[in-house]
Amino acid sequence: MGYTFQFGVVLDALPDLLSGAAVSLSLAVASMVVGMLLAAPLAVAAAGRNLAAKTPARAWIELARNTPCLAQIYAMYYGLGAVGIFMPAWAAVFLAISFNNAGYLAEIFRGGLNGINANQFKASRSLGLTPAMAYRYVVFPQVFRNTYNSVSNQFIWSMLNTSLGALIGLYDLSGVAMDYQMRTFKTFEFFLAIAVAYIVLAKLIMFGMRFLKPGGANA
Amino acid sequence: MNDMFSTGITPRDYWMMAYGAWKTIQMTLAAGLLATLLGIVLGLLKMSRFAVVRLAVDTLVDVLRCIPLLVQVTLIFSGFAVLGAPISAFTAGTIALTLFAGSYTAEVVRDAILAVPAPLRRAARSLGMTARQEYAYVVLPLGVRQAFPSWLGLMLGIVKDTSVVAVIGYAELLKATQTIITRTQDPLPLLTLAACFYFVICFPLSMVGGYFERSLKKRS
């Protein structure tokens, strides 16, 4: 075996790798927040009877879940570019992962909505709450609590998906590694380093979500 | 094709995409089968009597789940090359997808086994069944029913995840599409067509899953 591992070049690239990690994490957080905000109304529409709302919601969910995330990123970057809407790589990744998150989270929330007794909604309505208030104050707090673990998993999953942005030139962890790999030919070393970095990021998210959990870390 | 510099979409391009879709299906079948087997083994090991085994499997599964597939594929591809035994993109992609999906399948298998009521299993044993018979005639039929929807979801995930293997040069559906786009410079129709291909592969499967889930709900 004539190969010598050289991790010195990885250490030299540390500042870039750290800024790449910041890009990965911030994109994941931003697209998770937007995804959650979109997913709640999507889930309500998809679970409801109003066809005018249900059909587009179902279409969104099915499209987000049945096409590869990479294809969604390409669609935002190249597809929208073809109709004259140009955006930087980070914006395309942000939009694509938000779209993807919204679809997956809506399906998770829909499962959660099914678990809530319909009478609770009726009771809130008869107490004078508007439908929006009933969802906001009565239904969704419970849905969030019941689906918390699935939502946490989706968060980690979407963080891992941001790595696909490297293929359209995003300078996130993977993008930095790909860039340095081309300059130094140390593919294995760089990807091993970012593999460890991704594990750390995933654990950070897991840790953070445990603290955000309604009712505290032990609930 | 009269003009080799023409930038229009030719029938050959559709053929190339269809071939890409076939390569996607090939890798899905290979990785799906291996991942299922690996998942069953890991799932059973997860319930081992020995804490060391459980810890080892849990750590492995945890690590595999926290690294993006893109990174895993590249690591495996370059890792074998570094070791002096280069493997093809298909092999590297299949190994990576097997490990990735297998770690998720392990969880599904474990949950399915745990979903079989313990008294039922003890009853089987007290009727004189051996451990093997208990698994074959009690745990397996009930567990499969429980695991099927999630398992199918994982297989659908593999269909989509094959697109990531493009980074090491496997010309599956999305890579083929991308290659044609670089010539025609017209991404919209081709990307839409690629999405349709994925949809045609995935949607019937997810319909089957939905049907199975509903019939399960009716029975219980």
What are the DSSP calls for A155-185, one per residue?
HHHHHHHGGGGGGGT--SHHHHHHHHHHHH-
Distance CA B115, CA A154 (A): 23
Report long-range pairs for B49-57 (Cβ below 8 Å, ≥24 apart).
B57/B106
Q: Is B191 on the interface with A (CB under 8 A)?
A: yes
pLDDT of residue A13: 86
Query: How confident is the prediction for chain A on average, in pLDDT?
Result: 90
Condensed to tens digits (0 to 9), the pLDDT of residues B71-94 reads 999 999 999 998 888 999 999 999
Residue of B74, B162, B192 with shortest CB distance to A191: B74
Residue of A164, A188, A198 with shortest CB distance to B66: A198
pLDDT category at B145 given cuts 50, 70, 90 is confident
pLDDT of residue B206: 78
Residue of A78, A166, A199 with shortest CB distance to B63: A199
Domains of chain B: 24-171 (1.10.3720.10)
| Contact indicator for B188, A83 with CB cutoff of 8 Å | yes
In the predicted model, is pLDDT for residue A217 greater than 50?
no
Q: What CATH number was assigned to the domain covering residues A12-188?
A: 1.10.3720.10
- Domain residue extents for chain A: 12-188
pLDDT of residue A219: 44
The mean per-residue pLDDT over the stretch A43-59 comes to 92
Closest of A199, A72, A25 to residue B163, by C-alpha: A72
Query: How confident is the prediction for chain B on average, in pLDDT?
Result: 89
Q: Is A204 on the interface with B (CB under 8 A)?
A: no
Chain A nearest C-alpha distance from B206 (Å): 9
| Contact indicator for A180, A190 with CB cutoff of 8 Å | yes
Question: Which residues in chain B are closer than 8 Å to A166, comparing Cβ atoms?
Answer: 70
The mean per-residue pLDDT over the stretch A81-94 comes to 91
Could A164 and B70 be called an inter-chain contact, meaning their C-beta atoms sit closer than 8 Å?
Answer: yes
Distance CA A165, CA A174 (A): 8
Q: Which residues contact B76 (CB under 8 A, 6 or more apart)?
A: B92, B95, B96
Q: Which residues contact B15 (CB under 8 A, 6 or more apart)?
A: none
In the predicted model, is pLDDT for residue B2 greater than 80?
no
